[in-house]
A = this chain, B = another copy of it.
Amino acid sequence: MEKVNLAEKFSRFRDCWQPKIVGELNDSYVKLARLSGEFIWHKHEAEDELFLVMKGTLRMKVLEDGREREIRIDPGEFLIVPRGVEHLPMASEEVQVMLLEPKSTVNTGDLRNERTVEKLEWI
């Protein structure tokens, strides 16, 4: 049982859109990710997902009742995207986020493409 220092863990990687595992509890992983630019629209059928912003500003586009909305998430703020909700994470400048989601969660949700991270790395 060791504590985790988020800044130290972030210093271990530079690649974007490649979440790294830094902890596990119950059926979930705690992950860290750097995000930059635009991801892809996707949803997770059965998994809620928490995004806690540590650095930068995350802009999350979400689809609610067929209408697009953008939620701006600054450091010290989190957003929980409920299962089934289409979302598109975007970052004009690089963002550092802590994610919390079930171990089963795939970064591209119900899609599989070149942005899918098939094998998660522990750091």
Contact = CB atoms under 8 A, between A and B. Distances in A.
B25 A50 contact: yes
How many copies of the shown chain assemble into the complex? Answer: 2
B5 A77 contact: yes
Contacts of A25: 48-50, 80, 82, 100-101
Task: Please classify how large the interface on chain A is, using the bins under 10, 10 to 19, 20 to 34, 35 or more.
Answer: 35 or more
A81 B100 CA distance: 16
A1 B80 contact: yes
Contact of A81 (B1, B7, B85, B101): B1
Interface string A80-113: 1110010000000000000011100000000000
Contacts of A47: 26
A4 B23 CA distance: 22
Interface of A: 1-7, 23-28, 30, 47-50, 54, 62, 64, 71-74, 76-82, 85, 100-102
